[in-house]
Structure 1
Amino acid sequence: MTLEEKLIHLRKEKGITQLELAEAVEVSRQAVSKWESGSATPSTEKLLGLSELYGVSVDYLLHDCDLKAGEIEPLPQKAEDNSKTSHGGTGKASVKWFAIIVGFLILIVLIWVFHANKGKEESIHINNMSGGEVVNEPDGSFSIEW
């Protein structure tokens, strides 16, 4: 059975019109008509959409085989994602949130360290400095006059 024959058979078996199929795979009705007449071939992306819609493999759609001989290869059922967390998110989303929280905590620690050291006075030792005089300012700071 050819691709166009399979497309017609599967669409009728599903009980949908060319227009309904076109809307489902996001093409025009004319594109579906061309696929079913054999004057055009669906793109790889559209073949994937058709295979999911009809529950058959892309391999089945592309290779000649006989429907009557029972050669339809149903798509394997999608297993539940075991990486879901108790909050309903996927494992990838959990990793993303974990990274955001860790980054935020690091930022808080850096801000705390900066502010903790901000008030500390540093002592400056001026040894063997010639030609300059240290002047204490009224506000507690000092300057060096040359």
Structure 2
Amino acid sequence: MTTLDLQAILDRADAATEGPWRTEPSKYVRQRYVVQTDTRRTIWHATNDVFEAIDAEFIAAARTDVPLLVARVRELEAVPRVLDPRKLSAEEIEAALDALPGRAVVTCNAFDEPGVWIRTRPQEWHGSGLVHARTSRYLARYCAPLQVIR
């Protein structure tokens, strides 16, 4: 995977006309405008038959989606990949687990609860071979160190 230059991506988004953007039909068949929502200033006019309305909608949505995606990537990158109780408190490990996205996967080699854990709901984890779920707090206190897989 290529390393992303998140600041360059954000700089390009910030340099573009302020959003949000939306699409509007053109007076010509199969053509769309992408306009700035407040001023109706034209950002892009799809004049080629190749472009569909869905393409214009994607371009319009990208104006607000890109900064949100950059913020989410930065948030996820801030979560340590190894949650080690020698370096983090139980509260920090619990907060890191809660910050992971749904269906996140962690592994644990602790004696009490070894195995693979999958986040099924906020603050709820299911371990391999276990019937009952465990909380983020439980994993932070009894299963660390944890390796974040995804």
Higher share of residues assigned helix: 1
Query: TM-score, normalised on structure 1?
Result: 0.24
Which of 1 and 2 has higher RCO (CA within 8 Å, sep 6+)? Answer: 2
The structure with the largest strand share of the pair is 2
- Greater Cα radius of gyration, structure 1 or 2: 1
